[in-house]
Structure 1
Amino acid sequence: MEMRGARILVPGATGRIGSALVERLHALGARPALAGRDPDTLARVSARSGHAPARTFEAWDLDACARTVDWAAAELGGLDGVVVCVGVAAFGPAPEVSDAVAEHLTAVNALAPMAFLRAAAPQVTEGGVLAAVTGVVAEAAPARMADYAAAKAALATWLTAVRREQRRRGVSVLEINLPHMDTGFAARAVRGEAPRLPRGLPVEEAVDAVVAALSDGARLVRPGTPGPLEVVR
């Protein structure tokens, strides 16, 4: 996808990764639309990105996710891509995680990204991209993260299937499988405390990889060797 002029919705634009991605897209000449929970942060990111259109939403409200796609398409005159950066973590042994917390984790980490991309799929045309952030927990399934990892794994599987469906339409489906990032994300868990974690990858390196993947029609960003991230076509 050519970045200049590309019309891209970024749900989760008030988080560290989402906001950095929006600002980079704007700098590259794309036309982002922002969606997030915090109206004040949303306004600041919009101002730094050429006063890009912005809208609040709650990720657990799946109808609101779908309506946000329609809003972005109307604001931008169409959509060339959607990059979903929403997510929330929880920690603790599985028997100690309540059903309410597990339901919230599934809604935010799996069902909300699916709702955004499901609504966007008919609107994004050939050469466009549908993308979402998963994470290494989807494959590693660490102890004390069972429900969080399960939700991310569900999203990863869904993206794989949708990629096969969209291939004939010429639409790329990108999974952004990131390692632990330097964002403070783990400290904002809805339950429990994060285990001792290694130093996180700088946000700028993740944004570099995501932009390269969007530009190249790649299917995966993942931890790589020898570099920290690898873009896979």
Structure 2
Amino acid sequence: MEIRGARVLVAGATGDIGSALAERLAGVGAVTALAGRDPARLAGVRERCGPGPSRIFDAWDLDGAEGTAAWAARELGGLDAVVVCVGVAAFGPVGEIGEAVAEHVMAVNALAPMAILRSASAHVSPGGLLAAVTGTVARSAPAGMADYAAAKAALATWLTATRRELRRAGVGVLEVCLPHVESGFAGRAVTGTAPPLPPGITVAEAVDVIVEGMRMDARVVDSARSKRGTT
């Protein structure tokens, strides 16, 4: 897709990746609507991105997540793309992850992105794009990350099915499958401590992956390659 002039909602715009992505998109000429959880950080990102709407939302609130795309479409006069960058990690043996934590991890990593993109499917123009960040944990399913990996895998499967449904409408669906990113995300887990992790990519490299996928109309992109076409 052509990013310059595109109307793009970035959900999760107060996270490390989401804020950097929003600034990159604005820097190459996109018109951004920003949604994020941290009011002070959202105001700073909005200032750096230039004029445009912003909205406080928490991915734990699924009703609020669902209404975010409609809000952005109203504010921007339409939508060309939506990128969801929300997420929360959890670490520990399955027997030690309580049900409240498991529900929170599934809601933030899977149900909230689904709610945003499901609503966005009615607002994004033909030729536009729906995208979300998953992660290599969705494929590798490492020990000590069962609920986190399961939530990301659920989102990845949902994106694949949605891509097939929206093909005839001319709307692309992009999965951004990121490895470990050196952002401090793992250190902010809702529970547990991250195991030793291999060196990750930088936030700037993660943003490169997302922007490349958007420009290439890719199906799935990761830090090493992009895959074009449809499934």
Contact 1:8 1:83 in 2 (8 A): yes
- Paired position in structure 2 for 1:169: 169
- Paired position in structure 2 for 1:230: 225
Question: Within 5 A, what are the aligned runs for 1:37-186?
Answer: 37-186=37-186
Q: Which amino acid counterpart does residue 135 of structure 1 have in structure 2?
A: G
Classify the secondary structure of the residue corresponding to 2:138. helix
Classify the secondary structure of the residue corresponding to 2:41. helix
Q: Distance in 2 between matches of 1:112 and 1:23?
A: 23
- Paired position in structure 1 for 2:11: 11
Q: Distance in 1 between matches of 2:109 and 2:3?
A: 27
Q: Which moved more, 1:46-55 or 1:93-102?
A: 46-55
Deviation at 1:53, TM superposition (A): 1.4
Contact 2:78 2:125 in 1 (8 A): no
Q: Distance in 1 between matches of 2:31 and 2:4?
A: 8
- Paired position in structure 2 for 1:22: 22
Q: Distance in 2 between matches of 1:125 and 1:72?
A: 13
Contact 2:69 2:123 in 1 (8 A): no
Q: Which amino acid counterpart does residue 103 of structure 2 have in structure 1?
A: E
Deviation above 3 Å: which 4+ runs of structure 1?
none
Per-residue deviation, residues 136-157 of structure 1 (Å, max 9, x unmatched) = 0000000010000000000000
Deviation at 1:52, TM superposition (A): 2.7
Q: Distance in 1 between matches of 2:227 and 2:32?
A: 24
Q: Distance in 1 between matches of 2:112 and 2:174?
A: 16
Deviation at 1:51, TM superposition (A): 3.4
Q: Distance in 1 between matches of 2:205 and 2:58?
A: 28
Deviation at 1:107, TM superposition (A): 0.3
Deviation at 1:15, TM superposition (A): 0.7
Contact 2:176 2:209 in 1 (8 A): no
Deviation at 1:102, TM superposition (A): 0.2
Q: Distance in 2 between matches of 1:135 and 1:219?
A: 14
| TM-score normalised according to structure 1 size | 0.96
- In structure 2, the gaps of 5 or more residues are none
Classify the secondary structure of the residue corresponding to 2:34. strand
Q: Give me the CA root mean square deviation.
A: 0.8
Q: Distance in 1 between matches of 2:7 and 2:95?
A: 44
Contact 2:136 2:179 in 1 (8 A): yes
- Paired position in structure 2 for 1:225: none
Q: Which moved more, 1:106-115 or 1:68-77?
A: 68-77
Q: Distance in 1 between matches of 2:117 and 2:214?
A: 15
Classify the secondary structure of the residue corresponding to 2:101. helix
Q: Distance in 2 between matches of 1:215 and 1:48?
A: 22
Classify the secondary structure of the residue corresponding to 1:160. helix
The percentage of counterpart residues that share the same residue type is 65
Per-residue deviation, residues 46-70 of structure 1 (Å, max 9, x unmatched) = 0000133111001011110111111
- Paired position in structure 2 for 1:190: 190
| TM-score normalised according to structure 2 size | 0.97
Q: Which moved more, 1:174-183 or 1:52-61?
A: 52-61
Contact 1:5 1:31 in 2 (8 A): yes
